[in-house]
């Protein structure tokens, strides 16, 4: 029996180009840790790329709750692919990527993981409850994610991993710790989203 995977190119391109824009803004320094910057950038990206998650932590929350593993992993692949493209362009033109600058070893700080878990639940519940085609819903979702970023939630995982991979083109080394942090951050945020949905359903 042959299982064929159908690719939704429209959805994939939305994720790819949304990630390209976000990564470009991260590299350019337009997106810091401030909630206003994150809110504005995500509002613009979600409005421009309708239906795209753009952030792997949101896709993880959606994937864990719907158990659509194929669709979720495909989306994350497109997101990382968009960041790889920007990283390759940066490497070719002599620019810098955005590998995890603060990660010298795997983060064992409990506060970080609590932030990822609680933040993952909060942003998923708000984001999934909002109508992103409506200006009000778009703003609420974007600024909820922005507030989570200001609280310390790691949201640039796709950009970090993508430019980490693309950095190999100019002889750079692959940051294994960065990959481990990307996977762990994404999974913990996804688990937080699952818990948030269960709590919300019990209310």
Q: Indicate left, alpha or beta for 94 from its phi (over 0: left) and psi (-120 to 50: alpha).
A: left
Q: What is the DSSP string of 75-116?
A: HHHHHHHHHHHHHHHHHHTT------TT-SS----HHHHHHH
CA distance 145 to 128: 12
Higher pLDDT among residues 174 and 71, named by residue:
71
pTM of the model: 0.83
Q: Measuring CA to CA, which residue among 94, 66, 75, 79 is closest to residue 20?
A: 79
Domain boundaries, the chain: 10-202
CA distance 168 to 148: 31
Band (pLDDT 50/70/90 cuts) for residue 60 is very high
Residue 74 has pLDDT above 80, yes or no: yes
The alpha-carbon radius of gyration of the chain (Å, integer) is 16
Let me know: does 97 contact 90? Beta carbons within 8 Å.
yes
Q: Say what the pLDDT of residue 62 is.
A: 94
Q: Specify the DSSP class assigned to residue 172.
A: P
What mean pLDDT is reported for the chain? 81
Q: Region 123-129: what's the mean pLDDT?
A: 92
CATH match for 10-202 among 1.20.1080.10, 1.10.10.10, 3.40.50.1370, 3.40.50.1400: 1.20.1080.10
Higher pLDDT among residues 114 and 38, named by residue:
114
Band (pLDDT 50/70/90 cuts) for residue 70 is very high
**pLDDT exceeding 90 applies to what percent of the chain?**
32
Q: Region 144-152: what's the mean pLDDT?
A: 84
Higher pLDDT among residues 90 and 182, named by residue:
182
Q: Region 163-184: what's the mean pLDDT?
A: 73
């Amino acid at each position: 029996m042959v299982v064929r995977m159908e690719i939704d190119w429209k959805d994939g391109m939305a994720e790819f180009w949304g990630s390209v824009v976000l990564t470009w803004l991260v590299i350019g320094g337009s997106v810091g840790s401030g909630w206003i910057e994150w809110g504005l950038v995500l509002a613009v990206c979600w409005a421009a790329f309708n239906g795209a998650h753009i952030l792997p932590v949101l896709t993880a929350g959606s994937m864990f709750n719907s158990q659509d593993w194929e669709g979720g992993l495909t989306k994350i692949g497109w997101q990382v692919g968009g960041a790889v493209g920007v990283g390759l362009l940066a490497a070719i033109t002599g620019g810098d990527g955005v590998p995890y600058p603060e990660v010298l070893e795997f983060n064992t700080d409990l506060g970080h993981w609590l932030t990822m878990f609680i933040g993952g639940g909060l942003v998923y519940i708000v984001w999934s409850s909002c109508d992103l085609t409506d200006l009000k819903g778009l703003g609420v979702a974007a600024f909820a994610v922005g507030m989570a970023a200001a609280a310390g939630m790691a949201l640039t995982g796709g950009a970090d991993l993508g430019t980490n991979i693309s950095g190999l083109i100019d002889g750079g080394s692959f940051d294994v710790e960065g990959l481990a942090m990307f996977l762990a951050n994404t999974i913990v945020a996804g688990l937080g989203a699952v818990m948030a949905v269960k709590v919300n359903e019990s209310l």
